Amino acid sequence: MLKGFKEFILRGNAVDLAVGVVVGAAFGSIVTALVKDLMTPFIAAIIKAPDFSGISFTINGSKFLIGDFLNALISFLIIAITVYFFVVLPLNKFLSRVNPKAPEEPTTKKCPECLSDIPIGAKRCAHCTAVLS
């Protein structure tokens, strides 16, 4: 029973998952701090109203907190934009420089008789049955 558990833990999937969760939590705190400490005050300096939590309305005694929803929506958008422009784009540029992709080899060619696309290794066109050299 313990042998199976040991094999499971040492297989790598559980360790990779644990490392991913820990790194993700640490990265989440960095992104949250970036948004809360830098981006939100910047927007507050421009708009002069960074907190919408006071906006609400009441219908039949039920209070609708539109402001809280707007705060959550704006926070999500700021986080998504921040992650995209400060993490995804730079990482994609870096990876494209480190691992440039080789041009793909063509898998088809044009038939000289009917100009349809045929596999590179074809000896006869499937469309017009012309013999290919």
- Residue 70: give its domain's CATH number: 1.10.1200.120
The confidence score (pLDDT) of residue 55 equals 79
Q: Measured between alpha carbons, how far apart are the two ends of the chain, in Å?
A: 64
- In this structure, the answer to whether residues 66 and 128 fall within a common structural domain is no
**Rg over CA atoms, the chain:** 28
pTM: 0.48
Burial class (CB in 10 A: 0-12, 13-18, 19+), 35: buried
The confidence score (pLDDT) of residue 24 equals 82
- In this structure, the answer to whether residues 13 and 59 fall within a common structural domain is yes
The confidence score (pLDDT) of residue 54 equals 76
- In this structure, the answer to whether residues 89 and 108 fall within a common structural domain is no
Mean pLDDT of 16-42: 79
Q: Are 123 and 131 in contact (CB under 8 A)?
A: yes
**60: pLDDT confidence band, cut at 50, 70 and 90?**
very high
Query: Is 106's pLDDT higher than 80?
Result: yes
Ordered alpha helix ranges (H), 12-113: 13-34, 40-47, 66-83, 89-98
- In this structure, the answer to whether residues 68 and 131 fall within a common structural domain is no
**Site of tokens 């999937």:** 13
Domain that holds residue 49: 2-98
